[in-house]
């Protein structure tokens, strides 16, 4: 999100990657003028100017269009859509619109960009073309899009881009870059949330160290939160987007201690009385008591681990959450944590819980829960049995479902690699296709029916059933005077490509999906905050039937066209399909 939409959000500091230290002052001023940081993930690398973050063929096509004067000002209409839902599911969450708007706001080629293009293009490319590029902006572009955070489906246009053909073409690669990964991560995060099956379990994104670079890590943090995660370990993402930060300590912190003699201080202030108390002695007292209560031998308890926990608790007495599996979670880590937690309680503080990062997560969580309940009952501490039990051991969707079947007692998951890299499916596959040129609809034909496009400008509606669930998405021809669907009025819905698949729908509610977001070089409506989009994701998912969202064999959601658009599309298909000959 840009500016100060969210609490705690700050402009992203410049991180120069692969730049020479002796950049001239004029170039730096240019960057400040045209690529000032406004919180966008793509501002990470000051050396990368967004108009050049594109494929080479976009530049060569732009020149070829420019060489034909009649092409320069032709009005083109492009649809962005995808052909298949990710992760074996039947829904996708549309994300990235906010970044797209920022890109359009700043779209222009700098003097340095033009200089570089002169170097890489052939000498015979005319000088007037570079002058043309230097004057380009997105002022003549119109952008229609579905609201960010909405559930979307294959073939449905997520965005419609209208404008001069060369400019609309130049936008293609960057728009796809900004939407593909964002939508994939948000969808992945939403699926983890659904896998919890409504249980009150927190989800934290811990994937920065596994992400594909700086921008990948920041994107993952932002869009995981959008998809329903409750926090991140990524401090920069917390600063930029106002996402709650979560984190404790690593195994290395525990391993760095060997004995109580290493502690710089043994004392902690009593929160109630303000008196300095020998905290180490209190911890040792409880350790001795708990070893008998939990039937653990003193020889099995790691003293170095206890030292590390005491050091951390003295540093963060109100935020004590310890990693308990460095040595032996059941015989040592759990007891040492509980000893320190009881000592904190005696001094007026309240521990948060434990994190488990290895081993049998279901079994260990059950053992921890039972121990906490027993300790809470023994010492008459009601909240002790509700301590957080966080698991963070290479968690994926299947793991969560399996742990649920094992009746685990985990109440928070820290998820990294499988979330931020989308290991199950690393790309969404959005495409950007020309559907109209100078008011003439275009159709892409293929032997693979899935790759045939739905031509022309289209209106898009979501029809809801009487129970409030989304029933079907309906595309309508925008170039003819076709009445829009109305509540409680029957409408014929047809499969775009299969003639026999058709049905009548009588919606209880009709929702237009495509809205104008950018026109005349300006944003056309207030951009929602990250938290508002996050809430919309959940509302949009709630409007889907459970069988569409389930993990195994989900029911496909229906996407259809009106009878008018069906007839128009298939007539155009026949007009453009070559007629074969038999000799």
Q: Report pLDDT digits (tens) over 27-46.
A: 444 444 444 444 454 454 44
* Interval 471-527: pLDDT, tens: 999 999 998 888 999 999 999 999 999 999 999 999 999 999 999 999 999 999 999
pTM: 0.90
Residue 10 has pLDDT above 60, yes or no: no
Q: What is the structure's pLDDT at 44? A: 47
Residue 437 has pLDDT above 90, yes or no: yes
Residue/partner pairs of 230-234 with CB below 8 Å, 24 or more apart = 230/202, 230/203, 230/204, 231/202, 231/204, 231/205, 232/204, 232/205, 232/206, 232/208, 233/204, 233/205, 233/206, 233/208, 233/414, 234/205, 234/208
Between 262 and 449, residue with greater pLDDT: 262
Structure tokens at 482: 């076709």
Instruction: Name the least confident of 1-5, 463-467, 563-567.
Output: 1-5
Q: What is the structure's pLDDT at 480? A: 85
Q: What is the structure's pLDDT at 11? A: 39
Measured CA to CA, the distance from residue 575 to residue 455 in angstroms comes to: 13
Residue 22 has pLDDT above 80, yes or no: no
Angle at 486 between CA 483 and CA 492, to 5 degrees: 70
Average pLDDT in the chain? 91
Structure tokens at 224: 């995981």
Q: What is the structure's pLDDT at 40? A: 52
Between 15 and 167, residue with greater pLDDT: 167
Structure tokens at 124: 């015979």
What percent of the chain stands above pLDDT 90?
86
436: left (phi over 0), alpha (psi -120 to 50) or beta: beta
What percent of the chain stands above pLDDT 70?
92
CATH topology of domain 25-191+426-576: nicotinate phosphoribosyltransferase (3.20.140)
Contact residues for 526 (Cβ-Cβ < 8 A; gap 6+): none
What are the percentages of helix, strand and coil residues in the chain, rounded to 5? 40, 15, 40
Q: What is the structure's pLDDT at 24? A: 39
* CATH 3.20.140.10 domain range(s) in the chain: 25-191+426-576
Q: What is the structure's pLDDT at 4? A: 37
The residue whose two tokens read 């419609």 is 160
Looking at residues 377-402, what average pLDDT do you find? 96
Alpha carbons within 13 angstroms on the beta-carbon side of residue 225 total 26
Q: Among candidates 240, 334, 246, 342, which has minimal Cα distance to 295?
A: 334
Structure tokens at 510: 């009709």
Contact residues for 498 (Cβ-Cβ < 8 A; gap 6+): none
Crossing angle of helices 127-134 and 56-67, rounded to 10°? 110
Instruction: Name the least confident of 5-14, 152-161, 345-354, 430-439.
Output: 5-14
Measured CA to CA, the distance from residue 237 to residue 107 in angstroms comes to: 24
Measured CA to CA, the distance from residue 232 to residue 240 in angstroms comes to: 12
**451 and 194 in contact (C-beta within 8 Å)?**
no
Contact residues for 167 (Cβ-Cβ < 8 A; gap 6+): 136, 138, 140, 141
Residue 545 has pLDDT above 80, yes or no: yes
**62 and 169 in contact (C-beta within 8 Å)?**
yes
Looking at residues 174-193, what average pLDDT do you find? 97
> What's 331's DSSP letter?
I
Q: What is the structure's pLDDT at 2? A: 38
* Interval 46-87: pLDDT, tens: 444 589 999 999 999 999 999 998 999 999 999 999 999 999
């Amino acid at each position: 999100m840009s500016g100060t939409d969210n609490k705690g959000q700050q402009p992203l500091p410049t991180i120069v990657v692969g730049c020479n230290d002796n950049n001239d002052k004029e170039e730096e001023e240019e960057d400040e003028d045209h690529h000032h940081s406004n919180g966008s993930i793509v501002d990470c690398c000051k050396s990368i100017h967004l108009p050049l973050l594109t494929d080479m063929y976009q530049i060569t096509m732009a020149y070829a269009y420019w060489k034909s004067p009649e092409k320069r000002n032709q009005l083109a209409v492009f649809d962005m859509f995808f052909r298949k839902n990710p992760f074996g599911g039947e829904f996708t969450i549309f994300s990235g619109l906010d970044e797209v708007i920022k890109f359009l706001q700043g779209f222009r080629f700098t003097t340095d960009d033009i200089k570089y293009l002169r170097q890489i293009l052939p000498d015979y490319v005319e000088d007037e073309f570079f002058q043309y590029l230097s004057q380009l902006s997105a002022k003549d572009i119109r952008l229609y899009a579905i609201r960010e955070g909405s559930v979307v489906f294959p073939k449905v246009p997520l965005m419609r881009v209208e404008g001069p053909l060369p400019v609309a073409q130049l936008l293609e690669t960057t728009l796809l870059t900004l939407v593909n990964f964002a939508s994939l991560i948000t969808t992945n995060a939403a699926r983890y949330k659904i896998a919890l099956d409504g249980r009150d379990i927190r989800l934290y994104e811990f994937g920065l160290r596994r992400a594909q670079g700086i921008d990948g890590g920041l994107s993952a943090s932002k869009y995981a939160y959008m998809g329903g995660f409750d926090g991140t370990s990524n401090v920069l993402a917390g600063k930029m987007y106002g996402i709650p930060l979560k984190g404790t300590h690593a195994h290395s912190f525990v391993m760095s201690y060997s004995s109580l003699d290493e502690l710089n201080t043994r004392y902690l202030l009593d929160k109630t009385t303000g008196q300095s108390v020998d905290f180490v002695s209190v911890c040792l007292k409880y350790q001795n008591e708990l070893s008998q209560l939990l039937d653990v031998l003193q020889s099995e308890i790691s003293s170095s681990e206890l030292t590390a926990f005491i050091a951390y608790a003295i540093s963060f007495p109100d935020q004590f959450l310890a990693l308990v599996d460095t040595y032996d979670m059941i015989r040592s880590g759990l007891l040492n944590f509980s000893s320190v937690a009881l000592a904190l309680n005696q001094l007026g503080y309240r521990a948060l819980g434990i994190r488990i990062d290895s081993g049998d997560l279901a079994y260990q969580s059950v053992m921890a829960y039972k121990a906490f309940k027993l300790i809470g009952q023994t010492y008459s501490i009601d909240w002790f049995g509700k301590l957080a039990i966080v698991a963070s051991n290479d968690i994926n969707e299947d793991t969560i479902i399996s742990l649920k079947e094992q009746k685990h007692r985990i109440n928070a998951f820290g998820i990294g690699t499988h979330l931020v890299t989308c290991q199950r499916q690393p790309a969404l596959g959005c495409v950007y296709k020309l559907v109209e040129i100078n008011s003439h609809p275009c159709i892409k034909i293929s032997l693979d029916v899935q790759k045939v496009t739905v031509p022309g400008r289209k209106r898009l509606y979501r029809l809801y059933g009487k129970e409030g669930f989304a029933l079907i998405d309906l595309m309508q021809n925008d170039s003819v005077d076709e009445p829009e669907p109305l509540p409680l009025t029957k409408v014929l819905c047809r499969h775009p490509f299969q003639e026999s698949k058709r049905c009548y729908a009588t919606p209880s509610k009709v929702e237009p999906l495509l809205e104008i977001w950018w026109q005349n070089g300006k944003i056309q409506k207030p951009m929602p905050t990250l938290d508002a989009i996050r809430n919309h994701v959940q509302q949009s998912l709630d409007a889907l039937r459970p069988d569409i969202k389930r993990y195994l064999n989900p029911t496909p959601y229906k996407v259809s066209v009106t009878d008018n658009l069906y007839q128009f599309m298939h007539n155009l298909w026949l007009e453009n399909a070559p007629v074969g000959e038999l000799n």
